[in-house]
Amino acid sequence: MSTESETNRLFIQIDDLVREMTDEEYAEYEARNANAGVVAGAE
Amino acid sequence: MSFPVFASGDVLNASDMNGVGLWLVKTQTIATSPAPTSVVVSGAFSSDYENYLITVTGGTMSVDTALGIQLGSTTTGYYGGFIYGTSAGVGPSLATDNNAAKATYVGGGSNSTSAYFQVLAPNLAKYTRIIATGINYSTTYGSYSGTEASATQHTAFTLIPFSGTITGGTIRVYGIRN
């Protein structure tokens, strides 16, 4: 299953609507991942 | 009537109905395609209930990892502790959220993704507490207690896999009667 669009932008679901992330949402996603570290049990 | 057992044709007395503890606020199906990296559930919290039970059942996460939650648009100030062990006998261990961008551990698992957690006072102008039990992903098993440390009154939440996507499955939000 594809997780990226032709613009390589990830998808977000809001209620019943799935759409590409906006620039702001994508930046938030990237920032969150950058600060996430390692999940417990996976180290 | 012998509450809480009802028979066909019984009158629904106010005294009985006012004793019902859980009310289904919202059901939301997680999309299967395209696969979302996060799922926003709006209209989940209101002044009708102070506390909530949220379940996620039957989904699929592309990575066998933790499922987290963000309240409203608040992306800072999450604190909490995840006490966990592994089915291989390692632990108990502790992982923490210390001013994190979300409550990291409320569920997870790539096969039949699940979550079962309570959210306390999300719509009050006070800190919000999050209590999650039965968390399992990969060989990790544990429980989480967390706080979103602001006075923001939330009406929505977002489910966020630690990495990858989540597809399918059903989110249910129940209000716990005040």
The verdict on A28 touching B (C-beta cutoff 8 Å) is: yes
ipTM of the complex in this document: 0.90
Q: Angle at the Cα of B129 (from B153 to A10), degrees rounded to 5?
A: 70
Q: B105, A40: Cβ pair inside 8 Å? A: yes
B70-125 pLDDT per residue, tens: 999 999 999 999 999 999 999 999 999 999 999 999 999 999 999 999 999 999 99
Domains of chain B: 26-176 (2.60.120)
DSSP state of A21: P
A38 C-beta neighbours (distance < 10 Å), count: 9
Q: Which pLDDT band holds residue B1 (cuts at 50, 70, 90)?
A: low
Mean residue pLDDT across chain B: 95
Mean residue pLDDT across chain A: 80
Which helix (H) or strand (E) segment is B45 a member of? Answer: none
The alpha carbon of B50 is separated from its chain's Cα centroid by a whole number of angstroms, namely 15
* B174's tokens: 């129940």
Locate the domains of chain A by residue range: 8-33
**CB nearest A39 (choices: B42, B65, B102):** B65
B123 Cβ neighbours under 8 A, 6+ residues apart: B45, B46, B47, B49, B50, B153, B154, B155
pLDDT of residue A39: 87
Closest approach of B38 to chain A, Cα-based (Å): 5
SS3 content of chain B, % helix, strand, coil (to 5): 0, 55, 45
Q: Which pLDDT band holds residue A3 (cuts at 50, 70, 90)?
A: very low
B127 Cβ neighbours under 8 A, 6+ residues apart: B121, B147, B148, B149, B150, B151
Q: Which pLDDT band holds residue B140 (cuts at 50, 70, 90)?
A: very high
Closest approach of B163 to chain A, Cα-based (Å): 8
